[in-house]
Chain A
Amino acid sequence: MMKQLYEWIDKRTKLSKYWEPIARHPVPSHVSDGVRTNPVYCLGGIAFLCFIILVITGMFLAMYYKPTPDEAYESVRYIMEEVPMGAFIRSVHSWAANMMIAAVMLHMIRVYFTGAYKPPRELNWVIGVVLFLITTAFGFTGYLLPWDQLAYWATTIGIQITSGIPVVGPYVGKLLMGGGEIGPNTLSRFYAVHTIILPLTLALLLGIHFLLVRIHGISGRYL
């Protein structure tokens, strides 16, 4: 039954032509020798898994969250106290976010010390650094959304620091706040950036990141 379904789909999409070379592609023995797997080569994958968990939990949070100063705090309180599993979903979102940033940092350290940024992989390192910056931008924009004391004042500090960059700083600060102070405009644009702009950008760059890994192969001792 499954086999027939697979053949039916394959006849119409030629899927096997694309996925079978990927499936048969051998993983180098310094990553996994069949008995032990080197855990430092899992960090990028862990970060990706965190991203998937964040997208799923984020979708559920977006169903209840309201990005206005009058309603934001109340909607998060509602998620935490009255929505079934709401507190768990939000806590998973928060923990997966922290875990993702830690995994991305450790992944970067692994790539640095194994020299995996060297030719022909320079471009993928640059994309990786941009992915790291996007991940921290996710953290920065997400932090404001609960609109509690910590959210408000941590964002105030963040925007003050960013505004201190010479020449462009004041403009970036104004752009972030959507005006002269943290208010309704700031909250709604942080929400738009956090849930639309950053996820799309990250997904696109991740696609290129993975494609380049596929083209170059996993770096390591056989080079």
Chain B
Amino acid sequence: MRVRGLSFFPNFLLREVVIMFTTAASIFLLASIFPASLLDPANPFETPKPIFPEWYFLYVYGFLKFWTWDIGPIKAKTMGIVISMVFFQLLLILVPFIDRNTEVNLKKRPIAVILGVITIAAVLFFTIYGIVFE
């Protein structure tokens, strides 16, 4: 397939290099201003408060706090873990097999767009829920 556009080398690569240097510079700047922390040594007999997982696991943590309903014999905690860890990741992997619509234009795939926005909103919501509601 013929595509009109910039040739990869050197035109496009130059742009990539500019972005790479900008990204690296931001990381170096952040690392200089906010160094990585090191708290007290691990003590298995003293639980610090409050304790949070890494920010990218907070949505799981938040969802576990949110989901308090037992479904039949299945405990609420088990339900929360299954939905947020197993079910959600499986759903992500299966996206191309669930959405069989071959249209790529945003306006012509409203269901996929709405579901995508809801998913992002839900992940953000449970992330905040995980921090705020103790």
B9 at the interface (CB under 8 A from A): yes
Which of chain B's residues have a CB closer than 8 A to the CB of A207? none
Digit string of B81-102 for contact with A (CB within 8 Å is 1, else 0)?
1100110010011011101011
What residue of chain B has the Cβ atom nearest to residue A37's Cβ? B15
Residues of B within 8 A of A53 (CB): 24, 27
A23 on the B face (CB < 8 A): yes
Q: How far is the CA of A49 from the CA of B27 in the complex (A)?
A: 11
CA distance A118 to B102 in the complex (A): 6
Chain A window 118-146, contacts with chain B (Cβ cutoff 8 Å), 1 for yes, 0 for no: 11011001100110110010011001001
Query: B interface, how many residues as a size bin?
Result: 35 or more
Q: Is A166 touching B42 in the complex (CB atoms < 8 A)?
A: no
- Please report the C-alpha to C-alpha distance between residue A104 and residue B81 in the assembled complex, in whole angstroms: 23
> Which residues of A lie under 8 Å from residue B1 when comparing CB positions?
217, 222
- A88 located at the interface, meaning its Cβ lies under 8 Å from any Cβ of chain B in the complex: yes
Residues of A within 8 A of B57 (CB): 136, 139-140, 158
Most buried by B among A45, A153, A157, A166: A153
CA distance A53 to B26 in the complex (A): 12
User: Does B8 contact A90, Cβ atoms closer than 8 Å?
Assistant: no
Check A148 against B41 for contact (C-beta < 8 Å).
yes
Docked complex Cα distance between A95 and B26 (Å):
9
A223 CB–B CB distance under 8 Å: yes
Give the size range of A's interface with the partner: 35 or more
Cross-chain contact of B23 among A49, A94, A147 (Cβ < 8 A): A49
Which listed residue (A132, A133, A153, A221) contacts B47, Cβ 8 A? A153
**Judging by beta carbons under 8 Å apart, are A109 and B120 in contact?**
yes
Report the Cα distance A83→B125, complex, angstroms.
Answer: 41
CB distance from A103 to the nearest CB of B (A): 8
Q: Are B42 and A69 in contact (CB under 8 A)?
A: yes
Give CA–CA (A44, B3) in the complex, Å: 21
Kindly list chain B residues whose C-beta atoms are within 8 Å of the C-beta of A177: none
Contact digits for A166-192, partner B, Cβ 8 Å, 1 yes 0 no: 100100000000000010000000000
Q: How far is the CB of A97 from chain B (nearest CB, A)?
A: 9
- CB-based contact A158/B42 at 8 Å: no
Chain B residues engaging chain A, CB cutoff 8 angstroms? 1, 3-9, 11-12, 15-16, 19-20, 23-24, 26-28, 30-32, 34-44, 46-48, 51-57, 60-61, 64, 77-78, 81-82, 85-86, 89, 92-93, 95-97, 99, 101-106, 109, 112-113, 116, 120
7 A-B pairs with least C-beta separation? A152-B42, A23-B9, A91-B31, A115-B104, A122-B96, A94-B36, A148-B39
Instruction: Give me 20 A-to-B residue pairs in the complex whose CB atoms sit less than 8 angstroms apart, sorted by A's number.
Output: A23-B8, A26-B4, A32-B5, A50-B23, A76-B38, A87-B35, A88-B32, A90-B36, A92-B28, A96-B27, A113-B116, A117-B95, A121-B96, A129-B92, A147-B41, A148-B40, A151-B42, A153-B48, A154-B52, A161-B64
